[in-house]
A and B are shown apart, each in its own frame.
Chain A
Amino acid sequence: MRSCRDITALVSRGLDKKLDLSERLAIGLHMMMCSGCRNFQSQSQFIRKAGQRYTEQLQKRLDGKS
């Protein structure tokens, strides 16, 4: 069984690249029993979303200042 360190590395990679089947299976299995890694996964997705919103709200904030 892969460790949380390895699984989070895979999850992180999976955000940029399609993983192969065995990797996706390893993640799926691990997630069933590890809440820490489940949280890491959903939070990484949230962080991505926040990153995409960041410049939008920076623009608004800068507009407000001038």
Chain B
Amino acid sequence: MLLSAEMNPPDQLNQALLAEHRPVLFRYALLQMQDNELADDAVQETLLAAWQSSTHFDGKSGLRTWLIGILKHKIADHWRRSAREVVTNEFDQLDSDEDEADIDAFFMSNGHWNGGPSTWNDPEAALKQQEFWAIYETCHSNLPPKMAKVFMLRELVGLEAEEVCQETGISDANYWVTMHRARLRLRECLEIRWFNPSKTKKEHRHA
């Protein structure tokens, strides 16, 4: 009994467990690399490296955080090898004060809507249209860089809130504020550019 247990690789890092994180890692890589095959390769290499160096996993940071750390290296390696200058989506700068203060524009001083959300007609249908996704991208890239990253890690990659805080180095409190603002801004942008374009003239704060 004892012997066979010792001969197994560390329990916490069996392949099935690693593979569970593949979808999240793939989304992360795809968003950075914008190429299906390259993203797939990077994830493959990451899982292999993780498997080979599983003894280095100290369990402190959480498996997924550790894997993303490896993945980041693999992506950086790729850019170095490909020797072309790439605008990586590293958004480590802080957002400006203007970006921070903008929530005030959505509400009046008493906290009530300043021209609030209108009703959207059949949003589900939008998901099937190519043009909608172009608008979605525009609205996402209109967010201040740090906010865009926080939102992307949570909603597009699918990390948990605590993992997003770890990845971006923001506090818990800051996370909630950032996500609230991101949703307000994205909502408004989608409304103006897609769902209710007649609003454009009146309100075009962030679109």
Contact = CB atoms under 8 A, between A and B. Distances in A.
Contacts of A54: 133, 136, 156
Contact of B120 (A8, A39, A59): A39
A43 B180 contact: no
Given A43-B187, A58-B30, A50 B136 contact: yes
Contacts of B34: 58, 62
Given A35-B119, A43-B187, A47-B186, A55 B27 contact: yes
Interface residues of B, number: 44
Interface string A46-66: 111111111101110111001
Interface in B102-144: 103, 106-107, 110-113, 116-120, 123-124, 126-127, 130, 133, 136
B180 A13 contact: yes
A4 B155 contact: no
Given A47-B155, A59-B36, A3 B123 contact: no
Given A17-B161, A55-B27, A62-B36, A4 B113 contact: yes
Given A16-B161, A50-B136, A43 B117 contact: yes
Interface in B134-160: 136, 151, 154-158
Interface SS of chain A: helix, strand, loop or mixed? helix
A43 B156 contact: no
B18 interface: no
A1 B91 CA distance: 38
A5 interface: yes
B31 interface: yes
B31 A55 contact: yes
B183 interface: yes
A49 B124 CA distance: 9
13 contacts: A2-B111, A4-B113, A13-B179, A15-B179, A16-B154, A16-B176, A44-B187, A50-B126, A51-B151, A52-B155, A54-B133, A54-B156, A62-B30
Q: Which 9 A-B pairs have the closest CB atoms?
A: A3-B111, A36-B116, A51-B155, A39-B117, A5-B111, A12-B180, A36-B113, A5-B107, A55-B27
Interface of B: 26-27, 30-31, 34-37, 103, 106-107, 110-113, 116-120, 123-124, 126-127, 130, 133, 136, 151, 154-158, 161, 176-177, 179-180, 183-184, 186-187, 190-191
Given A37-B117, A46-B120, A51-B156, 16 more contacts: A8-B183, A16-B179, A36-B116, A40-B183, A40-B187, A43-B120, A43-B190, A43-B191, A44-B183, A47-B186, A53-B127, A54-B136, A55-B27, A58-B31, A61-B133, A66-B36
